[in-house]
Each structure stands twice: as C-alpha cells, then as structure tokens.
Amino acid sequence: MPLPKGPYMGTFNPMKNSEKAPNDYKLAISKLKVTLKQRGMTYRELGQAIGLSESGVKKIFLADDGSFLRLSQIAKFLGLSLTELVSDQRTTNVGFSDKQQNEFLNSPILFKLFWLLVYERSDLSFAKKELSLSTTEAFKLVRKLDLLGLVKLLPGERIIVPSIKAVSWKGSGKFVEKLYREWTSQMMSQIAKPESEEGELFIFRYVQMSSKTYAEFISAQRALEAEFLRRSIREMQLMPSDLKHVRWLVASDNKSFVTGKALDQQ
C-alpha cells in the first residue's frame, strides 16, 4: 500500500500509538455536520436527544480533536456507525519520487523503517527493536525521512505520518522494480507449497477460457480485491484489538506455464 503524497494527515506519538489521528476526528465531524444539515436538525435538538447542552454540542463540533466515544454516541442516535464516519474510501494514485527511490536503494533499512512506521503503524520503539537500531541511529533515519517529505518529525519525539487510506501504485523506477521482485519472490518462497498452513492461502491453477470469460474473471478479481481493501482500511482506522498482518498477491495472465506464450502465439 504505497504512501500518499500531500499533507501529513495522520499522527502518532512513538510513546503512545493508540490515539486516534486528528484527521479522523475532523472527517467524522464533517460527515456528522452533513447529516445534521440533511435532516434539518440543530445543535440544540441534537443536544436534547443525547443529554448535552447546545454549547456542549458546539464545543464538540468545533474541536480539532476529541472523544470518539462521544462521536459514537452521536452517530448511534443518527443511525450511523463509527466506521462510516471515519472511512474515506477514495483511492489515491501515489508513487515515490526519483530522489526518494535513490535514497531507499542506497539505504534499505531506511525503507524498512519507513514501512514499519507508515504502513504497519508501528511505534518507534518497536521499529528500533525489529531493525536492531540504537536511538541515535533511529532518529537519524527518521530525520532523513523527514527531509524526504515522507514523515514529519516534531519536537518531543513526535512523528506525523500520512493518514490510512486506500491507494493505488502508479509509476515505476529501479527501487520499485527491485521491491516488487524481492517481496513477491520472498512471499512465494514462503507459501508456495502443496499444503497450506493455517492462516495461509495458495492457489496454483491452469485453465483455458474464452476472451469474454477471462475479462469477467479479471474484473471479478479486481472487485473482490477492492472490497476487502476498503474493509481493511476501515478496520485499520478503527484499530480493533484483533488486527492481523495480511499480505496478498494477485497475479494472472493468458500465457502457458511451459512456453510463456499465449495460444495465438504458438
């Protein structure tokens, strides 16, 4: 899931990585405001319904951050779920610049730290342990990521990272090509076996299809992937206690395993 370029939307403190990102709060408030407007409901009426004063409701809606428990209460009254409030399902096209790719090629551990912080939402202490980094080494790398515009390092050892959202990789480059080769090969070497272990799925198949059926097959695979990507983004935003690492690789073409050619080329 590549990194979105643009404003630093999500935040976490390396010492406390369980707080909701302020952008999620603002997103929820924005959707609640739209819902209230659509239903012609005032802050006073909402307050009366949930046991708050009009000024108390205004304070919630004007804040930059606040309690998601209170937002959940408001959402429940309006017939919404917290998931609906914090989910931004627009897919963003993203990619790394040439400079960013060159830095990752020169320093593989820089990319690993970036991945742990941004994609796996790990705190810095965990990343340091996994990568065997000293505190000094870790912050030199974080500073490098900051200079590359990939994260933002603030006083007090706080790091701002992009918000969790659905993204689509666009573009190429030596680092991207290297990453695709290495990580897909690594994954296949670990799970490509006749008997899958618990928590694994590996399907290896050859068939022949008409052009129409093959096009429908590809379309169905894209739709299935998009649906579970949306669901995973929602869950990562809400951070339930049973989140698991999941990696998947979807690949298909219309060629022979033996000749590497399509039927009309043989």
* Residue 142 near residue 112, CB atoms below 8 Å: no
Across 33-43, average pLDDT: 87
Asked if residue 155 and residue 82 are part of one domain, the reply reads: no
Bridge partners (DSSP) listed for residue 10: 161
* Residue 94 near residue 3, CB atoms below 8 Å: yes
pLDDT at 16 over 50: no
* Chosen domain end from 161, 184, 208: 161
* Chosen domain end from 55, 86, 117: 86
CA atoms within 13 A on the CB side of 126: 14
Asked if residue 156 and residue 97 are part of one domain, the reply reads: yes
- Angle CA 235–31–244, to nearest 5: 5
With cut-offs at 50, 70 and 90, classify the pLDDT of residue 17.
Answer: very low
DSSP 193: S
Q: pLDDT digits over 152-170, tens only?
A: 888 877 888 877 766 666 6
Asked if residue 183 and residue 157 are part of one domain, the reply reads: no
> Which residue range(s) make up the domain with 129?
10-16+91-161
Q: Which residue has the higher pLDDT, 3 or 32?
A: 32
Query: Where is average pLDDT lowest: 13-17, 223-227, 233-237, 259-263?
Result: 13-17
In this structure, what token pair is assigned to residue 54? 């009009």
- Identify the pLDDT of residue 71: 83
Q: pLDDT digits over 229-244, tens only?
A: 878 887 887 777 889 9
Neighbours of 125 (CB within 10 A): 13
DSSP 13: B
Reduce the DSSP state of residue 168 to 3 states and report it.
Answer: strand
- Angle CA 199–256–251, to nearest 5: 35
pLDDT at 131 over 90: yes
Residue 66 inside a domain? The answer is: yes
Q: Which residue has the higher pLDDT, 29 or 91?
A: 29
Q: Number of structural domains, the chain?
A: 3
Asked if residue 177 and residue 145 are part of one domain, the reply reads: no
Q: Which residue has the higher pLDDT, 80 or 175?
A: 175
